Amino acid sequence: MKIKIKLLSFLLLLVSFNVFADNVFVRTPELTGKLTAPAVLNLTDWQTIMSCHFNFKGSRKESVRYPQTIIKSLGNNEYSLFIKKGSLSETLPGWKLLTCAYKLLLIGKNSDLNGRSVFGEIYLLGQEHGEMSTDELKDMQNKNYVAKILTDKTQDLKIAIAPEGGIVAE
């Protein structure tokens, strides 16, 4: 009898708290495309990053995945781009989903500046700052929408060096 009362008390305690969890399931396809860079830029390193940001008790938290990224020089300032499929899934009780992003991080050398290193983050989908709308977050978790946008953007991606010196999408 004591066990039943304790179990009932425990269940009532659970129900009395506002328990919620944002479920995140972002899937990205395997991507094959082409990257065109200015003649003065020699790419030396790269990485694709999938990330989602959450609010947990007033603090911003992040969940990150790194799909394998392969870039090979084809000559004439062109590179082949291959990104393996990725998946980011989380169920975090008490966490509120704020943003999700898919970006390509590029590092290279600028021959106009005596080989000085240059860096750039090219957002292909979503954002990392602020808060996205409910519809935008639903789109990020719609694999058909994500596949279309990413395929279109990586098919023939052109990059440049910004006046400030960073790598940007044209």
Rounded Cα distance between 28 and 52, Å, is: 14
Give the tens place of pLDDT for each residue, 105-117: 999 999 988 889 9
Prediction pTM value: 0.83
**What is the DSSP pairing of strand 167-169 with strand 156-161?**
antiparallel
Of the two residues 160 and 24, the one the predictor is more confident about is 160
The beta strand positions in 4-151, using DSSP E, are: 21-28, 31-36, 41-56, 59-65, 69-75, 78-83, 86-93, 96-110, 116-126
pLDDT confidence of residue 5 = 58
Of the two residues 123 and 3, the one the predictor is more confident about is 123
Provide the mean pLDDT of the chain: 89
Tell me the pLDDT band of 24, cut-offs 50, 70 and 90: confident
Tell me the pLDDT band of 6, cut-offs 50, 70 and 90: low
